[in-house]
Amino acid sequence: MIELQNVHKAFGDNKVLQGVNLTIQTGESMVIIGGSGTGKSVLLKSVLGLIKPDSGVIKLDGQDVATAERDAFLARFGMLFQGGALFDSLPVWQNVAFRLLRGSLKRPIEEARAIAIEKLRRVGLKSAVADLFPAELSGGMQKRVGLARAIAAEPEIIFFDEPTTGLDPIMAGVINELIREIVVEMGATAMTITHDMSSVRAIADKVAMLHDGIIQWTGPVAKLDDSGDPYLDQFIHGRAEGPIEAVR
């Protein structure tokens, strides 16, 4: 279980998180929505320790992540980055098996390659892709490779940062389905940040909306359309009029 208690983060005068409280149960798929620049990525990176919150507590299974042993803590996570964040200098299979080629999860090279190819197959890519370099792949393929890397070490928790950004609607649908299938199959806890409503409906068990640095609304995905929350209503229907100020 991931718990965020009164988390604050500011960059200079820009107060991004202003007291975020959120709980994600084990095995649950939580999707965090919100407009651009509302701090969704900052929230996600704060959980991973990539950004240090100014105040507040983030706990994983009851333990404060700030005091957790870093390697053991990170070994429980997989993450799909917005742009894929694949390492240009490494072939695809080494990107996927990165964690399995070094550190505490190190495996023999043949075994690591076999696992990488299996994970590539799981995300719908052929083994021929394994020896290509990331620059030789399309955006959709890069996302799939990123997804394969995120699940390569079979993590308990997977984070997805804007998984469908920059993809055409069909490829976005494919990635959404893959994410849902993999999360269910692995029984993993998932936290996704997005402003793509088709992703929300495809991936989420629960939804949280981040606005003005706090969680404005949270509830099951089934309640999304009749929440009664004016902020959420405006956001999910993409209306220019409403409590959320639209910059024109």
Partner 1 sequence: MTTLLFPVAAVGRTTLMILATIGQIAIYAGQTISHMFRPPFYFKEFIHAVMTIGYFSLPVVGMTAFFTGGALALQIYAGGARFNAEAVVPSIVAIGMARELGPVMGGLMVAARVASSIAAEIGTMKVTEQIDALVTLSTHPMKYLTVPRVLAATLAVPVLVAVGDLIGIMGGYVVGVTRLDFNSSAYLHNTVDFLEFIDVFSGLVKGAAFGFIVALMGCYYGMNSGRGAQGVGKATKSAVVAASVLILASNYLLTELFFSA
Verify binding: residue 87, partner 1, rule CB under 8 A: yes
Task: Write down the least CB distance from residue 161 to partner 1, Å.
Answer: 8
Question: Residue 141 and residue 72: Cα distance in Å, rounded?
Answer: 30
Mark the segment that binds partner 1 (CB under 8 A) among 1-9, 42-50, 54-62, 114-122.
42-50
Q: Which of 46, 77, 174, 229 binds partner 1 (CB under 8 A)?
A: 77
Sign of CA dihedral 139, 141, 143, 149: negative
* Torsion angle in degrees (nearest 10) through CA of 207, 213, 214, 220: 0
Question: Residue 63 and residue 91: Cα distance in Å, rounded?
Answer: 37
Mark the segment that binds partner 1 (CB under 8 A) among 59-67, 96-104, 108-116, 231-239.
96-104
Question: Residue 43 and residue 210: Cα distance in Å, rounded?
Answer: 10
Mark the segment that binds partner 1 (CB under 8 A) among 60-68, 81-89, 115-123, 212-220.
81-89
Q: Which of 71, 118, 185, 225 binds partner 1 (CB under 8 A)?
A: 71
Question: Residue 155 and residue 74: Cα distance in Å, rounded?
Answer: 9
Name residues contacting partner 1, limited to 137-196 (CB under 8 A). Answer: 149
Verify binding: residue 133, partner 1, rule CB under 8 A: no
Task: Write down the least CB distance from residue 100 to partner 1, Å.
Answer: 10
Task: Write down the least CB distance from residue 44 to partner 1, Å.
Answer: 10
Question: Residue 159 and residue 145: Cα distance in Å, rounded?
Answer: 15
- Whichever of 40 and 45 has its CB closer to partner 1, that residue is 45
Task: Write down the least CB distance from residue 78 to partner 1, Å.
Answer: 8
Which of 43, 52, 147, 44 minimizes the C-alpha distance to 92?
147
Instruction: Count helices and strands (H / E) in the chain.
Output: 8, 10
Collapse the DSSP code of 247 into the 3-class scheme (helix H, G, I; strand E, B; otherwise coil) and give the result: coil
Which of 173, 217, 222, 177 minimizes the C-alpha distance to 34?
217
Task: Write down the least CB distance from residue 146 to partner 1, Å.
Answer: 9
Point out which residues bind partner 1 (CB under 8 A).
45, 48-50, 70-71, 74-75, 77-79, 81-83, 85-88, 98-99, 102-105, 149
